[in-house]
A and B are shown apart, each in its own frame.
Chain A
Amino acid sequence: QKEVEQNSGPLSVPEGAIASLNCTYSDRGSQSFFWYRQYSGKSPELIMFIYSNGDKEDGRFTAQLNKASQYVSLLIRDSQPSDSATYLCAVNGEGFKTIFGAGTRLFVKA
């Protein structure tokens, strides 16, 4: 059974701090890695995707991938109260199915 594991949180950070969210996956054949943000009662919204080892930056967000360790992370710089949400790590293999983690709840304190 292919799994994506995340710490459920909540992760609480003060406004302006860096939030660090982590994810591990079980399938070594995974090829595409995604971070989604989900506000309560809403649908997931794509924030970042990464395919290659290393870092990928987009504005305040940085995704990091280490395939050898089967580890994906998301850094949010200058965290804002509006970043408070559940962050879903998602992993795609060769097929069409994307497997989601259970999500980490982030709370940014003003």
Chain B
Amino acid sequence: EPEVTQTPSHQVTQMGQEVILRCVPISNHLYFYWYRQILGQKVEFLVSFYNNEISEKSEIFDDQFSVERPDGSNFTLKIRSTKLEDSAMYFCASNQGQVGYTFGSGTRLTVV
């Protein structure tokens, strides 16, 4: 069964450093997303991406965040200057439209 692949599975970074989280969505999916889940809390929407541009973003997705699809397969989330409160599980997801998501296994980001 097709999968969404995320790397790394765990990233530890110092406050103020830049991190890039990587995702390979399912190949025939058209819509790509980043969500995050702080430990013990809700899954929160960050951004959606369609046709090589951001289609919607949340208040969380401020100027410190950016997304990119540098080639035909990878989809990345960059956090420019990490803060302690950015520590969370980050999930990439993809789908073909108004249907449910296939989530990747997530990247646990720990900011120290």
Contacts and interface: CB of A to CB of B under 8 A. Distances in A.
A102 B41 contact: yes
Interface string B101-112: 111111000000
Contact of A43 (B41, B44, B91, B99): B91
Interface stretch (A30-38, A66-74, A77-85): A30-38
Nearest to A95: B56
Given A88-B43, A99-B45, A102-B41, A43 B106 contact: yes
> What range describes how many residues of B lie at the interface?
20 to 34
B28 interface: no
> What range describes how many residues of A lie at the interface?
20 to 34
A96 B49 CA distance: 9
Nearest to A103: B42
A10 B92 CA distance: 28
The A contact surface, by secondary structure, is: strand
Given A31-B98, A43-B91, A97 B45 contact: yes
Interface in A56-110: 88, 90, 92, 95-103
A6 to B, nearest CB: 10
A44 B43 contact: yes
Contacts of A49: 99-100
B101 A98 contact: yes
A39 to B, nearest CB: 11
B100 A34 contact: yes
A100 B43 contact: yes
Interface string A17-35: 0000000000000011010
Contacts of A31: 98
A98 B41 contact: no
B73 interface: no
A100 B93 CA distance: 14
A102 B104 CA distance: 19
Nearest to A88: B43
A-B pairs with lowest CB-CB distance, top 6: A96-B48, A46-B100, A43-B103, A100-B43, A96-B56, A97-B45
